[in-house]
Amino acid sequence: MDVVSALARLRVLAGRSGLPCDDPVVLRNGSNLLVHLRPAPVVARVAAVTAAVRPDVAGHFRRADAVSRFLAARGVPVVEPVGPGVVRHDGLVVAFARHVPHEPGALLDPASFAAALAELHGELRHYPGALPERWPPADLTHVFDVLGRPAGLVGALERLVARWPSTPVQALHGDAHPRNLLVTASGPVWNDFEDTWRGPVGWDVACANLSPSSAGALPLGAADPEFWTDLRRLFAVGWSRVLDLRRGTIGGGTGVAVEGVPGG
pLDDT of 193 strictly over 90: yes
11-62: pLDDT as tens digits: 999 999 888 899 999 999 999 999 999 999 999 999 999 999 999 999 999 9
pLDDT of 141 strictly over 80: yes
CB contact at 8 A, 227 and 165: yes
Tell whether the torsion through CA atoms of 145, 146, 147 and 153 is positive or negative.
Answer: negative
CB contact at 8 A, 189 and 106: no
Contacts of 25 (CB under 8 A, 6+ apart): 35, 36, 38
pLDDT of 261 strictly over 90: no
Q: For position 83, what pLDDT does the model report?
A: 81
List of domains in the chain: 3-98 (3.30.200.20), 110-247 (3.90.1200.10)
- pLDDT band of residue 262 (cuts 50, 70, 90) is low
Alpha helices in the chain (DSSP H): 3-16, 49-53, 57-73, 110-124, 135-146, 151-162, 202-209, 225-247
- pLDDT band of residue 247 (cuts 50, 70, 90) is confident
Q: What is the CA radius of gyration of the chain?
A: 18
DSSP string, 116-178: HHHHHHHHHTT--S---BSHHHHHHHHHHHHTT--HHHHHHHHHHHHT------EE--SS--G
What is the rounded distance in angstroms from the CA atom of residue 125 to the CA atom of residue 119?
Answer: 10
Tell whether the torsion through CA atoms of 123, 126, 132 and 135 is positive or negative.
Answer: positive
Q: For position 251, what pLDDT does the model report?
A: 41
- pLDDT band of residue 126 (cuts 50, 70, 90) is very high
Q: For position 254, what pLDDT does the model report?
A: 38
Average pLDDT, stretch 83-99? Answer: 92
pLDDT of 216 strictly over 90: no
pLDDT of 181 strictly over 60: yes
What is the rounded distance in angstroms from the CA atom of residue 177 to the CA atom of residue 212?
Answer: 9
Q: For position 255, what pLDDT does the model report?
A: 38
- pLDDT band of residue 134 (cuts 50, 70, 90) is very high
- pLDDT band of residue 257 (cuts 50, 70, 90) is very low
Q: For position 260, what pLDDT does the model report?
A: 56
Average pLDDT, stretch 213-237? Answer: 89
Q: For position 221, what pLDDT does the model report?
A: 85
pLDDT of 80 strictly over 80: yes
**Considering the entire predicted model, what is its pTM?**
0.91
How far CA 219 is from CA of 109, 169, 209, in Å, comes to: 10, 21, 9
> Average pLDDT of the chain?
91
